[in-house]
Structure 1
C-alpha cells in the first residue's frame, strides 16, 4: 500500500493488473519510470500567487508597455516573457525564504528577551504569509474552487494537483495503423493527425436541406447576434468567471485579466 507521502515522491507511478492464465490471483506490476518529455515543453502559465507580490504591477506594466501602440497579442506575449523570468526567480527565492524563516524561528524559540520575542512574532507572521502563498500555488493547480483561501490545506492541494496531473497524462495512443505509440513526439503526431482530419473542410453542400428549415431567429434577434462585441460585454463575462479557472492558450487565466483590467 502506498501512502500520501510516497505518492508525492513518485507522482508518475502506475499500477497495471497483469493476466494470469492458471490462477484467479492477478499479479500487479508497478511502473515507476518517469515519462520521457521534451526539454522545451514548458509553457507559460500565470500564477495567482504572483498577485500577492508588491512588484508584480511593475513587471506587467513593463511588459505591457504603457502608452505604446501594438496588438494585444504582442503585448500579452511580452508580458508572459517578463513574468516567466521574474516568476522563476521569485519561486527560487520563495523556497529560500521559507527555510530561512523556519531556521530563525528555531533560533529564537525559547528565548525570553523582549527584543527576541518581538522579532519572533515578525518572523512568524512572515512565515505564515509564505505558507498562505504556497497554499495559493497548489490550490490553483488542484482546481478546488469550493475551498477558500486560508484553510492551509497545502498537502491536500498538492495531492489533488498530483492526481489531476496523473489523470490528464496520456501514456499512449493508437495510430491509424492500429499500432500503439508511447513516445511524446509520436503521441503528439497521432493527436494532431486526428484533429486535422476531424476538423478538415467539408465540401458537402447543405443548401437544399437548409431551404426546408423554417427560420427561428427574427431579424431583430439576428441584428443583436451579429452586432460587434463591446468591451463592457467582455468585461461582464470575464468578471463572472472564477479567478482560478483554466488559462487560455496564452497562459493567462481570469485572475490576471480581472486584476489588470484597467491596464489592459
Structure 2
C-alpha cells in the first residue's frame, strides 16, 4: 500500500510556464509496517536546484496530532491577498445565530487562504528567489570545496603552539585576579567565589512575608452599582477601538486568525 504524499500532488516539474507536472516517486509499505509504525508520514521538501522534489518519510509509533491553522501576518502585504480571500467570507453558508455565522465565515476564509493561487508577480518573485538561492548554494559549495583541501585543514585547524599561546593570552585577559572586600584584597580562588556569592546574595535581598491589613469583602461595601452606560450593548466604534488596541503580532486565537487579519479586513467583515 502507498503512503500518501502530504502537501503536494506531483514530485516532478519541467519548470516551464505552463508547467508539466508528474508524480514519479512513491513510498510503498506492507501491512506489518502499517501496524508497527502507525504514525508514518510522507512529506515533500523544498527543491531549490532540482526538477525533482525531495521526499521525507517519517516513521513513528506515536499518535500524530492534528495540524492547527495559523494566520500569518506576512500574507497581508502581498498584492491581491485580501481580494482573493474576502469573497469566501461573504459567500459562507448562512446560519441562524451570530456565533455560528462567524464560525462559518472563518472556516470559509481559512479554506480560501490554503487554496489561494499565486499571482503573476508572486510567480516571478518565486523564480527570482530560486535563482538567487541556486547561486548562493553554488558559492557555498565552492567555499567548502576549497576549505576541504588537505592544506587548509592542516594549517587552518592545527593544534599548534600558536593556538595554545593565543588561548592562554585570552585566559589571562579574562581572569579576575583579585577581589577587594572591605579594604581587604582576596586572591584565593575559593575565597573569591565566596566573596562574589555573598555580594550578589546581599543585593538580591531576603524573602519576606505579606499580610492583609484590611477586609477584602468590605472594599466595595456601600459602593454605587455600575451605570447603565457600562452595561449597554457594545457599539461598532467600541469594538473597533478595542481591536486597534490589540497587538497585531500577538498569538492568534483558537480559530487561527489574529488581530492583524481583523484590522486589515474590518470594512468587509465587521458585520
Sort the TM-score into its range (normalised by shorter chain): 0.3 to 0.5
Bigger helix share: 1
RCO greater where, 1 or 2, for CA within 8 Å and sep 6 or more?
1
Larger Rg, first or second structure (1 or 2): 2
Q: TM-score, length-normalised on structure 1?
A: 0.38
Q: TM-score, length-normalised on structure 2?
A: 0.37
